[in-house]
Amino acid sequence: MSIDKATVAHIAALARIRVPEADRERLAGELRKIVAWIEQLDEIDTTGVEPMASVVEMTTPQRPDAVNDGDCRDKVLANAPAASHGFFTVPKVVE
């Protein structure tokens, strides 16, 4: 399926980026071009190839269960655009 305006609107919504109607056609064109270009990977036979998990040939390290962070509310809130009574605040969410 080719990328059209509706695709752009859909992925922009998933990514929570407002894309004005007027920009969607242009973006669709740009993304179409890029996607067509990356589709050259189809030329490569990858049957039986395990997708790369990481370039680091290690397993994930595990840390001990110790409390050595947190307890720094002022630091955590210092950069907040809006905070009140020790909470971050956002426009009301309706569940």
Segment 39-68, which members bind another protein (CB under 8 A)?
39-44, 46, 49-56, 58-68
Q: Which of residues 6-35 bind another protein (CB under 8 A)?
A: 7-8, 11-19, 27, 30-31, 33-35
Q: How many residues bind another protein (CB under 8 A)?
A: 71
How many whole angstroms separate alpha carbon 86 and alpha carbon 83?
A: 7
Residues 28, 3 contacting (CB under 8 angstroms)? yes
In Å, the largest CA–CA distance within the chain is: 58
Min. distance of Cβ 25 from another protein in angstroms? 14
Q: Is 95 in the site for another protein (CB under 8 A)?
A: yes
Tokens matching residue 35: 């996607």
- What is the distance of C-alpha 5 from the center of its chain? 20
Q: Is 81 in the site for another protein (CB under 8 A)?
A: yes
